[in-house]
Structure 1
Amino acid sequence: MSLIPKPRWALSLVGIVITSAALAGCGSAGGATAGGPQTSGSAAAKDVGADANTEQCGKTSRTIKHDLGTTTVRGTPSRVVVLEFSFVDAVVNLGVKPVGIADDNDPDRLIPALKDKVGKYTPLGLRASPNLQVITSLKPDLILADSQDNAGIYAQLSKIAPTIAVASEAAGYQDTINSEKVVAQAMGKCEQMDTVLAHHEKVMQGFKNRVPKGEARKVLFAISTDTGVSGYTEGGFAPGVLAALGLRSPLPDTGGDAQVAMSLETMVSTRPDVLFVAPHPGKLLLDQWATTSLWDSIPAVAHDKVYKMNQNLWSRARGLTAAEEIAEQAVDKLYGAS
Structure 2
Amino acid sequence: MRRRFSLIFIIAILTIFAAGCGSDQSAEKTNGSNAGNDTKQEELTIKHQLGETKVKKNPEKVVVFDFGVLDTLDKLGVEVTGVPQANIPTYLSKYKDSKYENVGGLKEPDFEKISEIDPDLIIISARQQDAYEELSKIAPTIFLGIDTSRYMESFEKNTKTLGEIFGKESEVEEELAKVKESIEALHKKASESGKSGLVILANEGNISAYGPGSRFGLIHDVFGVQAVDENIEVSTHGQNISFEYIVEKDPDYLFVIDRGAVVEGSGGSSAKATVENELVKNTKAYKNDNIVYLDPNYWYLSGGGLISVAEMVKEIEKGIE
Task: Please say whether Structure 1 and Structure 2 have the same fold, judged by a TM-score greater than 0.5.
Answer: yes
* Comparing 155-164 and 302-311, the one that deviates more: 302-311
Query: Which residue identity does 2:130 align to in structure 1?
Result: G
**1:275 counterpart residue number:** 254
C-alpha distance after superposition, 1:79-109 (max 9, x if no partner): 2111111110232233312111124x23xx3
Structure-2 separation of matches of 1:192 and 1:214: 32
Distance 1:185 1:254 in 2: 37
Separation in structure 1 between the aligned mates of residue 50 and residue 235 of structure 2, nearest angstrom:
20
Q: Structure 2-normalised TM-score?
A: 0.73
1:273, distance to aligned residue in structure 2 (A): 0.8
| Amino acid in the other structure paired with 2:75 | N
Higher helix share goes to which structure?
A: 2
Secondary structure (helix, strand or coil) at the match of 1:245 reads coil
Structure 2 CA distance, aligned partners of 1:132 and 1:64?
A: 23
Distance in 1 of aligned mates of 2:68 and 2:177: 18
Q: How many aligned positions are there?
A: 274
Structure 1 327/81 Cα, relative in aligned 2: closer, same or farther at 3 Å?
same
Show structure 1 runs of 4+ deviating over 6 A: 169-172
Identify the residue that residue 319 of structure 2 maps to in structure 1: 333
- Could you say which residue in structure 2 is the equivalent of 1:182? 161
Matches within 5 A, 1:228-267: 228-236=206-214, 238-241=216-219, 243-252=221-230, 256-257=234-235, 259-267=238-246
Work out whether residues 218 and 248 of structure 1, in 8 Å CA contact, stay in contact via their aligned partners in 2: yes
- Which one has the largest radius of gyration? 2
Query: What amino acid sits opposite 2:294 in the alignment?
Result: M
Whether the 8 Å CA contact 2:280–2:286 is kept in 1: the answer is yes
Tell me the CA shift for residue 277 of structure 1.
1.1
Calculate the TM-score normalised by the size of structure 1: 0.70
Q: What amino acid sits opposite 2:312 in the alignment?
A: I
Residue 159 of structure 1 corresponds to which residue in structure 2? Answer: 137
Higher relative contact order (CA 8 A, sep 6+): 1
**How far did 1:187 drift?**
4.0
Does the residue aligned with 2:285 lie in a helix, a strand or coil?
A: helix
Cα deviation for residue 265 of structure 1 reads 2.1
SS at match of 2:198: strand
Structure 1 residue matching 2:226: 3-state secondary structure: coil
Q: 2:121 aligns with which of 117, 142, 155?
A: 142
Q: Percent identity?
A: 24
Post-superposition offset of 1:163: 0.6
Q: Is the 8 A contact 1:173 1:241 kept in 2?
A: no
| Structure 2 CA distance for aligned equivalents of residues 61 and 283 of structure 1 | 46
* Aligned equivalents of 1:298, 1:140: Cα separation in 2: 52
The aligned amino acid for 2:205 is: T
* Structure 2 residue 181 is matched with structure 1 residue 195: no
1:315 aligned to 2:297? no
Aligned match for 1:75, one of 57, 81, 103: 57
Partners of 1:278 and 1:310 within 8 A in 2: yes
| Cα distance between partner residues in 1 of 2:179 and 2:274 | 39
SS of the equivalent of 2:52 reads: strand
Partner of 1:48: none
- Between the aligned partners of 1:150 and 1:64, the Cα distance in structure 2 is 18
Q: CA 1:213–1:235 in structure 2 vs 1: closer, same or farther (change >3 Å)?
A: closer
Where does 1:199-210 land on structure 2 (aligned, <5 Å)? 199-208=178-187
1:227 alignment partner in structure 2: 205
Write the letter of the residue equivalent to 1:32: K
What's the C-alpha RMSD, in Å, of the aligned pairs? Answer: 3.1
* Corresponding residue for residue 86 of structure 1: 68
Task: Tell me the CA shift for residue 65 of structure 1.
Answer: 1.2
Kept in 1: contact 2:209–2:232 (CA 8 A): no
Q: How big is each residue's C-alpha offset from its partner over 1:166-219, in whole Å with a ceiling of 9 and x where there is no partner?
A: 32496763233333233334445444422332232234345456x266211112
